[in-house]
């Protein structure tokens, strides 16, 4: 069985765009809505692409801004200027 990589954010205007971007870039994503927070599960590997988030937000976005909204993550992290990847596949 593939383990889920996941990420959870506080619910706000910025993370609404980030979650939209995740859903677009990870077809297997499952979004779980909870009071004040939102969690996204993806089997195996979850990627957040800077370009997609920028498109959703309509402004420049630095992936390190994710720090402001993060609640929790699961999976090994690899972060570059363009991608924030959580993965159990290595």
Partner 1 sequence: MDMKVAKKLGLKERYTMMTRDLAWDTTFQPMDKVFPQVGYEGIKIHDWDKWEDPFRLTMDAYWKYQAEKERKLYAILDAFNQNNGHLSVTDARYINVLKLFLGSTPPLELMAARGFSMVARQMVGAGPRVACMMQSVDEYRHFQTQIHSISNYNRFYNGLDEFAHQQSRMWYLSDGKSFFDDAITAGPFEFMVAIGFAFEYVLTNILFVPFISGAAYNGDMAAMTVGFSAQSDEARHMTLGLECIKFMLEQDPDNLPIVQRWIDKWTWRGTRKLASVGMMMDYMLPKRIMSFKEAWEIYFEQNGTALFTDLARYGIKVPKCFEQTIEEKEHITHQSWIGFYMKPDATPFHTWMPQPEELDWLSEKYPNTFDKYYRPVYEYWIEQEKAGNRFNNKTQPMNCQVCVSTIKFNEPGDPMEMCFRETEYKGEKFHFCSDHCKEIFEDEPEKYVQTFISSHAALQGKCEPEGTDVNAHDYRPGARMHAYWRMDKRASGDFNGSEDQKNFAKWRAQATRN
Q: Which residues of the chain form contacts with partner 1 (CB under 8 A)? A: 3-4, 6, 8, 10, 34-37, 63-65, 67-81, 88, 90
Please choose, from the candidates 15, 20, 22, the residue with its C-alpha nearest in 3D space to the C-alpha of residue 36. Answer: 15
Tokens encoding 38: 């939102």
Contacting residues for 50 by C-beta, under 8 A, at least 6 apart: 61, 62, 63, 81, 82, 83
User: Minimum CB separation from partner 1 for residue 87, in Å?
Assistant: 10
Q: How far is the CB of 46 from partner 1 (least distance, A)?
A: 12
SS3 8: strand
The answer to whether residues 39 and 7 touch, using CB atoms and an 8 Å cutoff, is yes
Q: Nearer Cβ to partner 1, position 61 or 75?
A: 75
- As measured in angstroms, the least distance from the Cβ of 19 to partner 1 is 16
- Least spacing, CB of residue 63 vs partner 1, in Å: 8
C-beta of 57 vs 73, nearer to partner 1:
73
The DSSP symbol for 17 reads H
Q: Looking at beta carbons only, is 52 or 84 nearer to partner 1?
A: 84
């Amino acid at each position: 069985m593939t383990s889920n990589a996941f990420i959870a954010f506080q619910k706000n205007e910025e993370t609404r765009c980030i979650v939209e971007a995740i859903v677009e870039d990870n077809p297997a994503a499952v979004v779980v809505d909870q009071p004040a927070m939102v969690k996204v599960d993806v089997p195996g590997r979850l990627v957040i692409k800077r370009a997609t988030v920028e498109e959703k937000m309509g402004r420049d976005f630095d992936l390190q801004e994710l720090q402001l909204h993060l609640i929790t993550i699961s999976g090994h992290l690899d972060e570059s200027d363009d991608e924030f990847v959580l993965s159990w596949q290595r």
